Amino acid sequence: MTRRGKAPVSPPSAVAAAIRAVEAEAAVRTSPCGDGEMVWRVFGEPGAPPLMLMHGGYGSWWHWFRNVRSLARGRRVYACDTPGLGESAPPPDRRDIDSIGRIVADGLRHVLEERGQRVDLVGFSFGGIVGGHAAPYLPDLLNSFTMVGVGAMGLRRARGPALERFRRDMTPAQLRSLARRNLEILMLADPRAVDDFAVHMQVTNTMRAVTKSRWVSATPALRGRLPLIEAPLAAMWGEWDWTAWPFFRERVAAVRAIRPDARIAMVPRAGHWAMYEQPEAFEQALREVLPERH
């Protein structure tokens, strides 16, 4: 089955070179997904403690572009494309989050090389929602579950400027302009952080997205799944995350009501896409919330 994922707009040469450089360090693995394949990029030395990264809505593993190589120093990093996003084939039912979570859980079992080692699962935004639905299917494999900027907790959210919709009749210049505006609204706190890679990522991932994610973020779907997860739990946000500000206390309280010992971290000077805007600070915070491995 041919994988999805051809970019609708060619990247600038420097962005293309950067993508090739990171891709060159990854092993590509696949697992069954509907009528096709779920695609995984694997970084780091085989046998190192496994770390699984799940991207956000309308995204791909590129959400972790600035992190995969540094996190792979001492870890075996599994960065997947969620079913129906990035290069992965669509799931049988794009609105059944539980079944998508099951595909992801089965996929991890299929590609995981470090038998006998438990996995730290980190899910960003929609990836945290899907990861929260995958986690209960992995009681024997999960070392911890960390949510980054997640929704689907049934909590209030501040109103902000509306995101504009991509249309397939737009010119490349129009697509890039719209992507930049949406990144400034939702993803990055500092407009200066919206660089050429971020714009190319946003255009490419949005235009090839089949699984839509915005609807589930307004539901309490994740909140209902967290009590089923046995592994240690953590939650992280960028301190200027527009999807959570100014209601961080409510979110922390909701997580702690389910798991009083949950670890909480805020990434300074970062918006929703904290690991891209402040990669070093994010990775330091992640190391602090992950449990010690024995």
Tell me the H-state helices in the chain. Answer: 13-23, 68-71, 97-111, 126-134, 172-182, 196-208, 214-217, 221-225, 248-258, 274-277, 279-289
Burial of 5 by CB count in 10 Å (0-12 exposed, 13-18 middle, 19+ buried)? middle
Distance CA 85, CA 25 (A): 22
Yes or no: say if 259 and 252 are a contact pair by the CB < 8 Å rule: no
What residues have CB less than 8 Å from 57, skipping those under 6 apart?
Answer: 85, 125, 126, 209, 212, 213, 214, 217
Distance CA 282, CA 287 (A): 9
Residue 10, SS3? coil
What residues have CB less than 8 Å from 294, skipping those under 6 apart?
Answer: none
Distance CA 82, CA 94 (A): 11
**Confidence (pLDDT) at 159:** 82
Has this prediction a pTM greater than 0.85? Answer: yes
Please list the pLDDT of the chain residue by residue as tens digits (294 residues): 445 555 567 899 999 999 999 999 999 999 999 999 999 999 999 999 999 999 999 999 999 999 999 999 999 999 999 999 999 999 999 999 999 999 999 999 999 999 899 999 999 999 999 999 999 999 999 999 999 999 999 999 888 778 888 888 889 999 999 999 999 999 999 999 999 999 999 999 999 999 998 889 889 999 999 999 999 999 999 999 999 999 999 999 999 999 999 999 999 999 999 999 999 999 999 999 999 886
Cis omega (within 30 of 0) for bond into 246: yes
Please, what are the domains in the chain?
13-289 (3.40.50.1820)
**Confidence (pLDDT) at 165:** 85
Strands 142-148 and 119-124: parallel
Distance CA 279, CA 141 (A): 27
**Confidence (pLDDT) at 214:** 86
**Confidence (pLDDT) at 198:** 98
Distance CA 14, CA 22 (A): 13
Distance CA 176, CA 166 (A): 10
Q: Which of 105, 19, 109 is nearest to 68 (CA)?
A: 19
Distance CA 95, CA 115 (A): 32
Residue with the two structure tokens 């009681």:
139
Q: Which of 139, 130, 13, 144 is nearest to 63 (CA)?
A: 130
Distance CA 114, CA 260 (A): 30
Distance CA 44, CA 88 (A): 22
Yes or no: say if 122 and 146 are a contact pair by the CB < 8 Å rule: yes
